Structure 1
Amino acid sequence: MKSTHLCLACGNAFVPLRHVPRQRYCSSKACQRARRRDWQRTRLRIDSDYRDNQARAQAKWRAGHSTYWREYRAAHPAYRERNRSMQRLRNARRNVRPIAKMGVISRPGPLGSGFYLLSHADEAGVAKMNAWTVHIAVLSASTAPPT
């Protein structure tokens, strides 16, 4: 009589394959996908070489497919809208100011010449692309007469 095991993914009983006596997942596609995902998660956690190799492979893929996410969002408006609404919820939970975007500066006019103090603004919200959120305080104004 063959013994049955319980699948770690779906919980159903299954008879392990004859050549895999310590089989822990049944052979359904979803459970095999879960098995591979669990293996990769464990490998990423314990094997630094594997982790480094995965990071390099992902960076190479991103470099070769730099427009992937832009095209995906354009082709999937439901995904884009869901992402925007979820971001609004996250911002509301954080109770922060709007998110800073790369290269966007909204000010009434150009900054005048003079000395400025640049300091870290801890209470700022989320910034993109390694942007710094700072507080600028004018320490001395320009001495040039207005034109």
Structure 2
Amino acid sequence: MKSTRFCLACGNAFAPLPHVPRQRYCSSEACQRARRRDWQSNRLRNDSDYRDNQARAQAKWRASHSRYWREYRGAHPAYCERNRSMQRLRNARRGLRPIAKMDVVRVPRSLDSGFYLLSHAKDAGVAKMNAWTVHIAVLSAPTAPPT
């Protein structure tokens, strides 16, 4: 007598295969994809070695395919236009607030020596990954006018 189980992905009843006693997903292609996706998600969450290996493999792929996204965007203009329109919607929704400036000083003050992120002025309202890190050394500071 075969027992009937319910698939964790689609919820349909199925008879487990005799050689897979703990089968929890039916054999449909979509449910098997869900099973593999769930397995990998669980593995990434709980196994630091697996997570590190995946990160190294992804970094290696990105290094050997550095032009992938540039070429993809060139070949898929609709994708680019959708991204631009979605960004315009997000910008409109947030109003005039800058996107990623958590440490903006609202009161004017003199510039201190230190490290700063430098990016093109036309990009000032949007967070950019390609900003330059610069070191600014203040050699003299404004002094109070003589009284």
Segments of 5+ residues of structure 1 without an aligned counterpart are 100-115, 133-138, 141-147
Rounded Cα–Cα distance in structure 2 between residues aligned with 1:38 and 1:12 = 18
Q: Secondary structure at the match of 1:117?
A: coil
Rounded Cα–Cα distance in structure 1 between residues aligned with 2:43 and 2:125 = 34
Aligned to 1:83: 83
Rounded Cα–Cα distance in structure 1 between residues aligned with 2:45 and 2:74 = 34
Structure 1 stretches of 4+ with a deviation exceeding 4 A read: none
TM-score normalised by structure 2 residue count: 0.68
Preserved CA contact (<8 Å) 2:99 2:127: no
Segments of 5+ residues of structure 2 without an aligned counterpart are 101-109, 117-123, 133-140, 143-147
TM-score normalised by structure 1 residue count: 0.68
Rounded Cα–Cα distance in structure 1 between residues aligned with 2:13 and 2:30 = 15
Distance apart, 1:54 and its partner CA: 0.4
- Count residues with an aligned counterpart: 119
Preserved CA contact (<8 Å) 2:5 2:13: yes
Identity %: 80
Aligned to 1:10: 10
1:1-147 aligned at under 5 Å gives the runs 1-95=1-95, 96-97=97-98, 117=111, 125-129=125-129, 131=131, 140=142
Paired AA for residue 6 in structure 1:
F
What is the RMSD computed on CA atoms of the aligned residues? 3.0
Rounded Cα–Cα distance in structure 2 between residues aligned with 1:127 and 1:42 = 32
